Amino acid sequence: MKNTEIQINRKRDFSEVINATFTFLKQEFKPLGKVIIWYAGIPIIITSIIGAYYSGNELSRFFQALEGGIVDSDALVNPWLLTLLVLVSFATSIFLTGLSASYIKHYVYKGKGQFSSADVWNGFVPFIGPLIGLYFISFIIIMVTAAIGGIFVFGLSSLTSSTIITAIIIFMGIITLVIIPVVFVFVPLSMTYMPLVDENIGVFSSIKRSFSLVFGNWWVTFGIIVIASVIVSLLGTIFSIPAFVIGAIQGYSIATGEGAIDSRSMAVILTTSIGSLAQYIIYPIIFVAIAIQYYSLKEQKENPGLLQKIEEITDDSNMS
């Protein structure tokens, strides 16, 4: 049975967005996977290996502490390794975000099977710089939002000398003035890459655009992000089982006095790398879900799909 093209430019409710996400992923698994592996494969592999080695160092310190021994100086946190891990992780995120957005954009405007992997790559490259700027500005917005809330919490907590009341104010203040505002701005910020790539607009314009689209649809968008993230986390956990098994064996070895396995051994690095690699490969699930919600919100507020159909009918009439 031949797969029919999915109409992305369509108004959808919550369940329809989720269903469309997995229908799209099932249909485009091979071509989208090819794009991700071909162009983002090297950053993903490098990030997975460095992350596995870094995790191995941390595990080594933990198990040495459990054994009551002196922590190996080689296992101490290497700031250069940590910095490198952050940088390659950031680069991988840029690749996954941009390639996913470019793929869906080509699918929408060119049609299923009417574009190549090279087209997706060429559509992504011009947005590398803007995506970096977008991530940076989004991070600043989130940090400023958290900082403002933190200042209010600190100010309120200083109004009383009671330890119990201060603790309650801090606890409730962090939830209401820090966490909730951060989540509130995070939801529209998580969609900003789509108008950036799809509409070819600037960083600040894409942020404004996302807030405008999400306005009035915050809870639905939030729910879609949560569901997609939970699914990715569950799938990632499955692929991380080998690493969990190695960790359990280490813990059992220490408990029975047999000594721990070297956390920086090839087995630990390999199993951790596989888990990390799989998580990065399935992470585009979130980007696809957000993209479909983005087109749904566009259709709901602007109805571009109807306008496109009218233009196609007009063109056909002029040709006949």
Structure token pair of residue 292: 């479909």
Spans in the chain with pLDDT lower than 70: 1-3, 56-78, 247-269, 304-320
pLDDT of residue 302: 83
**Rounded Cα–Cα distance for residues 194 and 104 (Å):** 9
CA–CA dist 292, 297 (Å, integer)? 9
- Predicted pLDDT of residue 1: 42
Contacts 24+ apart (CB under 8 A), 25-34: 25/285, 25/288, 27/3, 27/112, 28/103, 28/107, 28/112, 31/103, 31/113, 31/117, 32/100, 32/103, 32/284, 33/281, 34/117
DSSP 23-80: HHHHHSHHHHHHHHHHHHHHHHHHHHHHHHHHHHHHHHHHHHHHTT-PPPGGGS--HH
What is the reported pLDDT for 54? 75
For 184-226, how does the pLDDT look when each residue is reduced to its tens digit (9 = 90+)? 999 999 999 999 999 999 999 999 999 999 999 999 999 999 9
SS3 111: coil
- The pLDDT value recorded for residue 143 is 97
- pLDDT digit string (tens) for 72-115? 555 455 677 788 889 999 999 999 999 999 999 999 999 998 99
